[in-house]
Amino acid sequence: MSLAASRRDFLKLSTLAGYGAVAAKTLAPAAARAQTPPAAGQTVMGLKTPKMERVRVGFIGVGARGGGHLGDMLKIEGVDVTAVCDTHKPNLDRAVKRVVDAGRPQPAAFGDGPEAYKKMLERDDIDIVYIATPWHLHTPQAVAAMNAGKHAFSEVPAAITLEESWALVNTAEKTQRHCMMLENVNYGREELMVLNMVRQGLFGELLHGEAAYIHELRGQMNQVEQGTGSWRTLHYARRNGNLYPTHGLGPVAQYMGINQGDRFDYLSSVSSPALGRPLFAKERFPADHKWNQIKEWRCGDMSTTIIKTVKGRSILVQWDETSPRPYSRHNLIQGTRGTFAGFPNRIALDYKKEELPEPIQKVLGDKARSDYHGWDQNMAPWFEAYDHPLWKRMGAEAARVGGHGGMDFIMNWRVIYCLRNGEPLDQTVYDAAAWSVIGPLSEESVARRSASVDVPDFTRGVWERTPPWGVVS
C-alpha cells in the first residue's frame, strides 16, 4: 500500500497507550485487561463454510508480500483474482498487468486514497480478501472485510493491540467468517515434519518450546518514503517489546496444541538496550535526516519473553531484527522422550534401541540409534520417516514455485483447498489473536519491569474441548 497517509495515521496512533512504550501508570491493571468480554456470536472453532467451486480473491496491498501471494494465486487451480487495491500506483499497475499476462480477466483496480479498499469491499464478486498492508491497518481492514461478508486473510501480525485481537475474534464470531493470519512458517518443511513427529508421540509428553525470529533488517531503513522500512522503522522508535512474535511462535504453538487442548496463561518479557538502529542511522544517513531526528529509540534490539501455558509448559520467544547475527528461527520442542532443535536441524532421543518408533526403525534398520548425549544432525532419514503428508503431496510444486522455500505456496494452496472442500482452516482467528497479542502484552510487561501479564482466553473456554490440529494430507 502507499504509505504517506499510513505513516501520518501511525504517528497519531503512536501517542496512544498500546502503540508506544508507555509508563506503567498509564496502563490499565493487567488483570482487568485480561478479562473476557461477552461473546459476540457463536464460536468459529472448526468453522466450516459451504464448498466453493471457485474462490474469488480480492487483494488489499500488492507490494512485496501481497505481490507474492498474488503470484501464488495465479498458479493455484480454482482461483479467480477479481480485484486488487493499492494506493501506490506502480504496485497497482504491476498487479493488474500480472493478472492479465497470466491469461486471466482484468481485475477491478482500486487505488484512490487510503479508503479505496472500502469501495472494493462493496463488490459482490469477492469471497476472500488477502491483506498485506502496514501492521496497524491489518485489523481495521480484516474487520471491514468480515463485516462486508468476506473471509479475511491477514499478513502477520494480525493485531498490534489487545483490543484489536478481541476485535478480530468478536467480528469473526459475529459474522461467522474465517479470519486467518497468514503465518507461513507453519508450512515450512521442517516445521511440518516436527508437527508430524509430535502428533505421533516421538518426543513423549511435551514440556518446553523455544521460538525466535532473528533476522537483521536494518537495511529496510533505506526505504524512507516507500516500502516496508518507511513505516516499520517508526515501530522500532516508538514501541518496546516483541513487535513480531509469530514466525517462531506459530509452529511451537501448533506443536503444543495452543487453543486446542492447552492455551497461553501468562508471560514475562525483557528488552535489551536499543542501540543498533540509532547507530545505523548515524553511520548511514546525514545528521539532519529524519531517522537521526528521532530523539529516543525505544525498542530493545533483543526481546526475550517467557510464556507459561495452562498445562504448565514453558515457551521461550525471542525477536531481534537489528543485531548483526545470522538468521535463525530457533525452532525447538522438548519432551520427556527427546528434543528437536532447528538452525541447524538436529535431534536427540531417549529410547532403548529396540523401542525406537517403527518409522525410524524402518528407515535406519540396524543403524538406528538413540543417544540423547549428542545431537544427530543427519536429518535425511528423519525426513524420509516423518515428512508431513502435505509436503509429500505438494513439496515438489512448492519448491518449484518458491516463496521462502515453498512454505508460502503450500500455505496458500492449503487455504484454497480447504475453502473449495468446505473444510476448517488450519489456523483460526483464535490463533491469530493469541499469537499476535504476545506483541502488545510483551510491551506491557517490559513497561512494568517484566511483571507477569495474563494472556486472555480468546476461545472463551472452547480450547478445553478442542483436539489439536491433526496430520492432514
Q: What angle do CA 153, 157, 162 make, to 5 degrees?
A: 110
What fold is seen in the domain 4-8+50-182? Rossmann fold (3.40.50)
Q: List beta partners, residue 214.
A: 320, 328
Tell me the C-alpha distance between 122 and 57, whole Å. Answer: 13
Q: Which pLDDT score, from 0 to 100, does residue 143 have?
A: 98
Q: List beta partners, residue 262.
A: 258
Q: Which of 408, 367, 339, 413 is closest to 66 using CA atoms? A: 408
- The structural domains of the chain, with segments of one domain joined by +, span 4-8+50-182, 187-412+422-465
- Mean pLDDT along residues 12-17: 39
Query: Above 60 in pLDDT, residue 13?
Result: no
Is there a contact between 166 and 440 (Cβ–Cβ < 8 Å)? no
Report which secondary-structure segment, H or E, holds 125.
Answer: none
Q: Which pLDDT score, from 0 to 100, does residue 33 have?
A: 61
Could you tell me which residue, 28 or 395, shows the higher pLDDT?
395
- The residue type at 156: V
What CATH number has the domain spanning 187-412+422-465?
Answer: 3.30.360.10
CA of residue 434 relative to chain centroid, distance: 11
Query: Above 80 in pLDDT, residue 371?
Result: no
Q: Which pLDDT score, from 0 to 100, does residue 38 have?
A: 86
Q: Grade residue 266 by pLDDT with cuts at 50, 70 and 90.
A: very high
Query: Above 90 in pLDDT, residue 23?
Result: no
Q: Grade residue 442 by pLDDT with cuts at 50, 70 and 90.
A: very high
- Helix residue ranges per DSSP H, 29-115: 30-33, 64-73, 89-101
The cell numbers describing 414, all together, are 492449503
Q: Which pLDDT score, from 0 to 100, does residue 31 have?
A: 55
Query: Above 60 in pLDDT, residue 228?
Result: yes
- The residue type at 420: R
Asked, as a colleague might, if the bond just before 344 is cis with ω within 30 of 0, I would say yes
Average pLDDT, the chain: 92
Q: What percent of the chain has pLDDT over 70?
A: 92
Q: Which pLDDT score, from 0 to 100, does residue 353 have?
A: 79
